[in-house]
A and B are shown apart, each in its own frame.
Chain A
Amino acid sequence: MLNRGRAKILGLLAFLALLAFLPAFLGPYSLHMMILVMIYVVIATSWNILVWTHQISLGHAAFFGIGAYTGALMFNAWRLPPYFDMLLGGVSASLSAVVLGIICFRMAPWALAIATLAFAEAMKILVIMLPGLTEGAEGVAIPPLFGGEEAARTKGYYLIFGIASLCVLMAYFLKRSKLYYAFTAIHDDEEAANMLGINPTKYKVVAFTLSAFFVGIVGSFYAHYIAYIDPHAVFNIHTSVEAQIMPLMGGLYTVAGPVVGAFILTLLGEYLRITIKEGYLIAYGVILVIVIFYLPQGLVGLAGKWMKRK
């Protein structure tokens, strides 16, 4: 008989194998949806890392946009190898997180929430107002790396699948590392953590930096994949909203939660976008409220409870 741990690993392997062979079964539109799912897996997982320190960002779109613009502009200027410019996208997003974090973490937890929301808006304004550097509101076109061709799309899928796997793997190992204990120590009792020699600000900055890094990378990936970016598309508040609601629905403080949330909500969001068109985000609001009141552990927590009862 299989024990629970082994069953879990087998299930996970089967799931990964399914994802790896997906391009063979899916048409271009479905594959495009799966690429979006993977992008959101990264955004949701990254956002959730910051929550471990009990801080929230309402502006992860800023890191997505910074990554997208860094990647696109550097690629256009110097024809860097594409993977290298994605890395630079991640680095620039991380750097901005370090600065923002150092400013905000000396204060109450709400400071970062407000500051990040404002930061994303401010970045959008900067990009629009500095057309000499960023081509302004018109946006930037990038020669497509993966393009619309079937084979190229498949390549794009494998790349983002790889990035998403790395990101989730990082979250997994982080959750089992000493860092995680430092993160949670801060959120349980900041003063006590301080006395134990854990510098709360330092660890919050570390978490925030990690949280921004992969989002910057996927921002840059997105720029290459879509081959065109503009400030309203990449510094979009929807991205920030989705970044918080996916982990919340799946289960905060877990590794699987954001992944589950990203799968469900990306596909649900697309369905709602097509059916309701304007105002479909109302569903997200309702989910947010319901989850906070009735499902604080998210779907993963619910599944755990259900399994225990069996």
Chain B
Amino acid sequence: MDLATFAQVIANGILTGGLYALIAVGLTLIFGVMRVINFVHGETLMLGSYLTYFLFTLYGIDPFLSLPLAICALFVLGVAIQRFFINPVIAAPHLNQILLTFGLVLIIQNLALILWSGNYISMTTRYSAVSLKFGPLSVGLTRLLGLMIAILLTFLLTLALKRTEWGKSVRAVTQDREAAMLMGVNVNRVNMLAFGVGSAMGGAGGVVTSMVMYIFPLVGMLFVLKAFAIVVLGGFGSIAGAVVGSLILGLTESLVTNYVPSGSGWAEGVSFAVLVLILVIRPKGLFYVE
């Protein structure tokens, strides 16, 4: 085996894993707090992508400047979705919640199809083609910056969960909803903020996505399925699990793409194989603690 190629494959896997983490962390946060299967999460990514794209092509705003904008916009949207759609069914059976978020996905996705057509689009910035050399490794600048954004945001979120009052309430609700309520935690508020923050993370994922790949209205579905595989792999509700799961998925996909015959086709199936495997061997995920 060629060592340089192998190193490149691993590097690619880590870069992809970083992007996945951005999406999966938000999803697992929302699930941990509210126990809701949130299919809308993929659409926050899609909307973040289009927002970045339009800001860039229409107003020439650099994607990195769009990042805080996308985060704020998707935070507000997330809070609104939670307030007006999820909250009313929070006590309803899982079935209704799943169908509801699925319905919202259909609305958002098809609205995008109608407004922006189903064409694949991509944007080219001045630095899109720049890649950095590290010895034998070549890494695209945007992908590297994307990874850094992922690390930074996940770090900030972890910090917020550890240090702030809100973070403590989030962890309390994640561990035991009823007890948290009895201790005077305003669960409604925690839910709303968690959904907003989770959606904002998805939006940030969209900003990064728009820089490194094609975007199209159905891109959210593609990512949300992978994010679910990651979250199941890492253990529902575990942030650390989501990060590790993302890296595992990114690396496996990269390895399969390069070392399996017609691997790029098979790579699309890796997440599903991982999902089934984990459900069979360790249904609670790698990081589940009693």
Contact = CB atoms under 8 A, between A and B. Distances in A.
Interface of A: 51, 54-56, 58, 103-104, 106-111, 113-115, 117-119, 121-122, 125-126, 128-129, 237, 241, 244, 248, 276, 278-282, 284-289, 292-293, 296
Interface residues of B, number: 44
Interface in B67-99: 85, 88-89, 93-96, 98-99
Nearest to A122: B272
Given A54-B93, A128-B265, A279-B110, A104 B99 contact: no
B262 interface: yes
B64 to A, nearest CB: 31
Interface stretch (B8-16, B52-60, B181-189, B274-282): B274-282
A124 to B, nearest CB: 9
Contact of B106 (A107, A248, A284): A284
B89 to A, nearest CB: 7
Contact of A115 (B93, B94, B104, B276): B276
B273 A122 contact: yes
The 7 A-B pairs at the shortest CB distance, nearest first, are namely A285-B106, A288-B103, A282-B110, A285-B107, A279-B113, A122-B272, A279-B114
Nearest to A278: B113
Nearest to A296: B96
Contacts of B114: 276, 278-279, 282
A205 to B, nearest CB: 15
Contacts of B105: 285
Chain A interface mostly helix, strand, loop or mixed? helix
Contacts of A117: 225
Interface in B207-228: 221, 225, 228
Given A51-B95, A278-B113, A289-B85, A58 B275 contact: no
15 contacts: A56-B95, A58-B98, A111-B279, A114-B275, A118-B272, A119-B276, A122-B276, A125-B269, A237-B221, A279-B113, A280-B110, A282-B106, A284-B106, A285-B106, A292-B103
Contact of B107 (A125, A244, A282, A296): A282
A110 to B, nearest CB: 5
Nearest to A117: B225
A95 to B, nearest CB: 16
Contacts of A109: 94-95
A104 B262 CA distance: 30
Interface string B18-50: 000000000000000000010000000000000
A104 B283 CA distance: 9
Contacts of B103: 284-289, 292
Contacts of B266: 125, 129
B269 A122 contact: yes
B252 interface: no
A288 B104 CA distance: 8
A117 B96 CA distance: 16
A103 B88 contact: no
B279 A286 contact: no
Contacts of A292: 89, 96, 99-100, 103
B71 to A, nearest CB: 26
B102 interface: yes
Given A56-B99, A289-B103, A292-B100, A103 B279 contact: yes
